[in-house]
A and B are shown apart, each in its own frame.
Chain A
Amino acid sequence: MATAFDVIIIGGGPAGYVCAIRAAQLGLSTAVVEKDKLGGVCVNIGCIPTKALLHSAYVANLVAHDAKDLGIGVSGVTADYGVAMRRSRKVSEQNSKGVEFLMKKHKITVIKGTGVMGKNRTVRVGPDEYQARKAIVIATGSRVKGIPQIGLEINKTTVISSDEALFLEQAPKTLAVIGAGAVGCEFADIFNAFGTKVTLIEVLPRILPIEDAESSDALAKTYRKRGITVLAGAKVTKAVVGKDKVTLTIEAGGKTETVEVERVLMAAGRAVNIESMGFEEAGVKLTDRGFVKVDPVTLQTTAPGVYCIGDVAGPPMLAHKGSREGINVAELIAGKHPHPIKYDNVPSVTYCHPEVASIGLTEDQVKEKKLDYQVGRFPFSANGRARSTGETEGFVKIIRDKKYGEILGAHIVGSHASELIHELTVARENEYTVEEVDLAIHAHPTLSEAIAEAALDSMGRVIHI
Chain B
Amino acid sequence: MATKVVMEALSPTMEEGRLVEWKKGEGESVAVGDVLAEVETDKAVMELVARAGGTLLKQVVPAGTTVPVSQLVALIGEPGEQVPAETNGKETTAKPKGPAEAPAAQPTPDENRPTSMPPAPPAEPRPAPSPSGRQPVPAPKPSQPGGRVKASPLARRIAEERGIDLSSVSGTGPEGRVVLRDLETAGATPAAAISRAMPRTGDGAPYTDTPLTQIRKTIAKRLVQSIGPVPTFYLTSEVDMERVWDAREALKTLGDGPKVSFNDIIIKAVASALRQHPACNAWWQDDHIRYWNEVHVSMAVAVEEGLITPVIRHTDLKTLREIAAETQDLAARARERRLRPEEYTGGTFSVSNLGMLDIVEFTAIINPPETGIIAVGRIAQVPVAHEGAMTIRRRMRLTMSCDHRVIDGATGARFLQTLKAMLENPLAIVY
> Do A and B come from the same complex?
yes
Which positions in A face B, CB cutoff 8 Å? Answer: 331, 336-340, 403-406, 430-433, 435-436
| Residues of chain A within 8 A of B179, CB atoms compared | 431
Asked if B102 is at the interface of the complex by the 8 Å CB criterion, the answer is yes
B100–A404 touching, CB < 8 Å:
no
Chain B, range 162-183, C-beta contacts under 8 Å to A: 173-174, 179-180
| Interchain Cβ contacts under 8 Å between A and B, 27 examples | A331-B102, A337-B99, A337-B100, A337-B101, A337-B102, A338-B100, A339-B173, A339-B174, A340-B100, A403-B161, A404-B154, A404-B157, A404-B158, A405-B154, A405-B157, A406-B180, A430-B152, A430-B153, A431-B179, A431-B180, A432-B152, A432-B153, A432-B154, A433-B153, A433-B154, A433-B157, A435-B153
CA distance A435 to B153 in the complex (A): 9
Q: Which B residues are CB-close (under 8 A) to A431?
A: 152-155, 179-180
Residues 129-177 of B at the A interface (beta carbon under 8 Å): 152-155, 157-158, 161, 173-174
**A465 CA / B158 CA spacing, docked (Å):** 31
Interface centre among A336, A405, A431 (most CB of B within 10 A): A431
* Given A404-B161, A431-B179, A431-B180, residue A336 in contact with residue B154 (CB < 8 A): no
Taking the closest CB of chain B, its distance from the CB of A334, in whole angstroms, is: 9
How does the 8 Å CB contact mask read for B99-122 relative to A, with 1 for contact and 0 for none? 111100000000000000000000
CA of A331 to CA of B100 in the docked complex: distance in angstroms?
11
Question: What would 20 more interface pairs be, CB under 8 Å, given A404-B154, A404-B157, A404-B161?
Answer: A336-B102, A337-B100, A337-B101, A338-B100, A339-B100, A339-B174, A340-B100, A403-B161, A404-B158, A406-B154, A430-B152, A430-B153, A431-B154, A431-B179, A431-B180, A432-B152, A432-B154, A433-B153, A433-B157, A436-B153
Closest to B99 in A: A337
**How far is it, in angstroms, between the C-alpha of A306 and the C-alpha of B323 when the chains are bound?**
62
Give min CB distance, A437 to chain B, whole Å: 10
Nearest first, the 7 A-B pairs at minimum CB distance are A431-B152, A431-B154, A336-B102, A337-B100, A404-B157, A436-B153, A406-B154
The CA-CA distance from A376 to B48 in the complex, in Å, is 65
In the assembled complex, how far is the CB of residue B297 from the closest CB belonging to chain A, in whole angstroms? 31
Q: How far is the CA of A339 from the CA of B153 in the complex (A)?
A: 19
Collect the chain B residues with CB atoms within 8 Å of residue A336's CB: 102
User: B158 contacts which chain A residues (CB < 8 A)?
Assistant: 404
* Chain A residues in 8 Å Cβ range of B102: 331, 336-337
With a cutoff of 8 Å between Cβ atoms, the chain B residues found around residue A430 in the complex are: 152-153
Q: Which of A331, A404, A406 has the most CB of B within 10 A?
A: A404
Nearest opposing residue in chain B for A331, CB measure:
B102
B156 to chain A, nearest CB (A): 9
The residues of A that contact B100 with a CB separation of less than 8 Å are 337-340
B157 nearest CB neighbor, chain A only? A404
- Shortest distance from the beta carbon of A173 to any chain B beta carbon, whole Å: 53
* Shortest beta-carbon distance from A328 to chain B in Å: 11
For A334, give the chain B residue with the smallest CB separation.
Answer: B102
Q: Residues of A contacting B180 with CB < 8 Å?
A: 406, 431
- How far is A406 from B102 in the complex, measured between Cα atoms in Å? 29
Q: What separation, in Å, do the CA atoms of A168 and B357 have in the docked complex?
A: 95
B152: chain A residues within 8 A (beta carbon): 430-432
Q: Which residue of B lies closest to A338 (CB)?
A: B100
Task: Compute how far the CA of A406 lies from the CA of B156 in the bound complex, rounded to whole angstroms.
Answer: 11
Nearest CB on B from A401, distance (A):
9
> A340 to B99, alpha carbons, bound, how many Å?
12
Q: Which residues of chain B have C-beta atoms less than 8 A from A339's C-beta?
A: 100, 173-174
A228 to B179, CA, bound (A): 46
Chain B's closest residue to A339 (CB) is B100
Mark interface residues in B308-326 (1 if CB within 8 Å of A CB, else 0): 0000000000000000000
Of chain B, the residue at the smallest CB distance from A407 is B154
Residue of B whose beta carbon sits closest to that of A437? B153
Chain A hits for B153, CB < 8 A: 430-433, 435-436
Q: Closest residue to A439 on the B side, CB-wise?
A: B153
Given the complex, which residues of B lie within 8 Å of A403, measured CB to CB? Answer: 161
Q: Which residues of B contact A337 (CB under 8 A)?
A: 99-102
Question: How far, in Å, is A424 (CB) from chain B's closest CB?
Answer: 14
A445 to chain B, nearest CB (A): 27
Instruction: List B contacts of A435 (CB < 8 A).
Output: 153
